């Protein structure tokens, strides 16, 4: 009888995975500070939501196009996939980006980061509603726990001096954005069967830019870019290149290298980073009820996203 040897990863593969983890560890730092950068652009430099998004995509799309050109041999998309890709870009890039940026304008950086990170809860519910996966009881426990935490985050800050008066509306807008972020993960799967994560990301954002840039063109060109101080420029470039291009590229390379579930674990670090940076930079201090909500929400997100489900 032949001897069966265990499948031990080679040192080269282990080193490759370690490098992937190290790169992914920078993404929560990048995305966590992104919420604070947007608050600075709104509060200190008085950017409008549409103008800021238009500027982001003017800076972001050429770099994505260059990356696509350099890293992909076949850069095209099949004719039969364009209609699906166009609708996908409209909803999960065009509408999502506006809701995401608008919510940060209306609420705090920490609340925004936590609520957008609740997307796995909505992924669980959407796939269950579509019949794509059969949910388990443990998964529903995670959903209930997550929604309880979200409620504490939204209503636990009422009356606090450092919470914007529009934070409840902003939180609700961010929940809508979280649903679309979940939809991005779900409805990108048919495209990912045919194309690389970078190609799907690049083309979705390029098509999204066709909508976003014209909508915000007037407020974008109305900005006095020549007189904008360097901290303002730094925040704009951060939003466009680091949180945008760098964050997405590293994230989806992580998905390809170590899988979606392991990569998603790094998403749970974004809210704590945003809370800490928001406290020291913006003096946003969450209430005790909100901190309890953070714990409950992240626990629910983890349980809902890791509970084993039967595919149908």
For residues 24 and 302, what is the distance between their CA atoms, to the nearest angstrom?
18
208-211 own/partner pairs: CB under 8 Å, 24+ apart: 208/57, 208/89, 208/90, 208/93, 208/94, 208/97, 209/57, 209/60, 209/61, 211/89, 211/90, 211/94
Looking at residues 50-59, what average pLDDT do you find?
Answer: 97
Q: What is the pLDDT of residues 244-294, one digit of tens each?
A: 999 888 887 787 777 766 777 787 888 989 989 999 999 888 888 888 998
pLDDT of residue 89: 95
Q: Is the dihedral of CA 216, 206, 248, 236 positive or negative?
A: negative
Residue 5: pLDDT band with limits 50, 70, 90: very low
Can you give the residue ranges of every domain in the chain?
Answer: 25-311
Q: Quote the pLDDT of residue 160.
A: 67
Q: Where are the alpha helices (DSSP H) in the chain?
A: 11-43, 49-71, 82-89, 96-106, 109-116, 119-129, 137-155, 167-187, 189-192, 197-215, 217-221, 230-237, 247-258, 260-264, 270-277, 288-306
CB 108 within 8 A of CB 287: no
pLDDT tens, residue by residue, 108-153:
999 999 999 888 899 889 988 888 888 888 989 999 999 999 999 8
| Residue 177: DSSP 8-state | H
158 or 286: whose pLDDT is higher?
286
Read off the pLDDT band of 214 (50, 70, 90).
very high
pLDDT level of residue 296 (50, 70, 90 thresholds): very high
CA separation for the pair 39, 290 (Å, rounded): 20
pLDDT given for residue 15 in this prediction: 57
| Cα separation values, 52 from 41, 95, 203, 218, 293, Å | 8, 15, 21, 11, 31
């Amino acid at each position: 009888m032949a001897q069966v040897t265990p499948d031990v990863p080679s040192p080269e593969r282990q080193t490759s995975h370690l490098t992937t983890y190290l790169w992914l560890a920078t993404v929560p730092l990048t995305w966590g500070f992104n919420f604070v950068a947007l608050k600075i652009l709104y509060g200190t430099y008085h950017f409008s939501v549409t103008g800021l998004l238009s500027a982001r995509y003017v800076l972001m799309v050429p770099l994505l196009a260059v990356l696509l050109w350099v890293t992909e041999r076949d850069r095209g998309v099949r004719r039969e996939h364009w209609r699906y890709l166009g609708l996908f870009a409209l909803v999960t890039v065009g509408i999502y980006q506006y809701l995401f940026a608008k919510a940060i304008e209306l609420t705090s950086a920490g609340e925004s980061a936590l609520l957008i990170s609740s997307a796995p809860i909505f992924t669980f519910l959407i796939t269950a509603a579509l019949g794509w996966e059969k949910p388990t009881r443990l998964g529903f426990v995670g959903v209930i726990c997550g929604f309880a935490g979200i409620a504490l985050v939204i209503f636990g800050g009422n009356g606090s001096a450092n919470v914007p008066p529009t934070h409840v509306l902003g939180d609700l807008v961010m929940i809508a954005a979280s649903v679309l972020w979940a939809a991005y993960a779900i409805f990108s799967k048919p495209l990912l069967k045919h194309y690389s994560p970078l190609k799907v990301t690049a083309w979705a954002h390029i098509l999204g830019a066709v909508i976003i840039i014209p909508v915000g063109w007037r407020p974008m060109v109305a900005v006095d870019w020549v007189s904008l101080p360097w901290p303002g420029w730094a925040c704009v470039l951060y939003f466009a290149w680091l949180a945008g291009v760098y964050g997405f590229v590293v994230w989806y390379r992580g998905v390809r290298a170590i899988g979606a579930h392991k990569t998603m674990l790094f998403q749970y670090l974004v809210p704590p980073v945003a809370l800490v940076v928001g406290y020291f930079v913006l003096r946003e201090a969450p209430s005790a009820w909100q901190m309890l909500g953070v714990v409950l929400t992240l626990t629910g997100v983890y349980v809902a996203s890791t509970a084993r489900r039967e595919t149908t």
